[in-house]
Amino acid sequence: MRTLSFLLTGAVLLWSSAAVADKFTATCECGKSDPQHLLPAGDRSDHSLGVEAAKCSWSKPLDIGGDKIKDSVATDLIDISGSKIQFHGVHALTMQSGDKVALPYHGSGMSKENHETRSKGTFTFADGTGKLKGIKGKGTFNCKSAGEGVSCNVEGEYDLAK
C-alpha cells in the first residue's frame, strides 16, 4: 500500500508541475523589404537568390506574459524560382518593456515578379532577454500580399522560463 501511495503522490506531483504552454494568435503587417538585394542565380533566367529585411507592425499584437510587441524586423534569405519562393530567417521582436526575443523561421510560398503573394511556414522562440530569457515555444504563420508588403496570421504557443 505504501508503494501505491508513493506512486500516486509522485504522479500527481509530476502532473501538477508539468508546464502548460500559453497559446496565442496575432496578426502582423510587414512593409516593403528595405533593403532587398536580389541577384540572378545564373542557372536559369527565372531563378534569383537574395537577402531582405522588412519592418513589421502588429494590428493584433502578440502578448507574451502580459508584455505586447512594440515593433519587429524580419530578415531573411530568399530563393525565388519562377513563381515559387523559399526563405528562412529571423524575426526580431522588441516588446513594450524593452525585452527582446528572436524567432527563427522558415517557409515557402508563391511570388509574382519577385514579390511574395502568399506564403506559410513555422517558427520557434530563441534568444530572449529579460523576462523572456529561456523562453521556449513554436508556431505557424500564413501570409498574403498586402500593398507592397504582406499581412500574416500567426499562431503558436510558448513557455516562459521559471
- The DSSP secondary structure of 14-40, one letter per residue, reads HHHHS--PEEEEEEEEE-S-SSEEEEE
Q: Is the pLDDT of residue 13 over 60?
A: no
Are the C-beta atoms of residues 64 and 95 closer than 8 Å to each other? yes
List the single range of 21-25, 75-79, 138-142, 146-150 with lowest mean pLDDT: 146-150
Indicate whether 17 pLDDT > 80: no
| Confidence check: pLDDT of 114 > 80 | no
Q: What pLDDT score was predicted for residue 85?
A: 95
Higher pLDDT, 116 or 20: 116
CB neighbour burial string for 104-143, b if at least 16 within 10 angstroms, e if fewer:
ebebebebeeebbeebebebbbeebeebbeebebebebeb
Contacts of 94 (CB under 8 A, 6+ apart): 69, 70, 71, 72, 100
What is the CATH T-level fold of the domain 22-159, as seen in this structure?
Answer: AOC barrel-like (2.40.350)
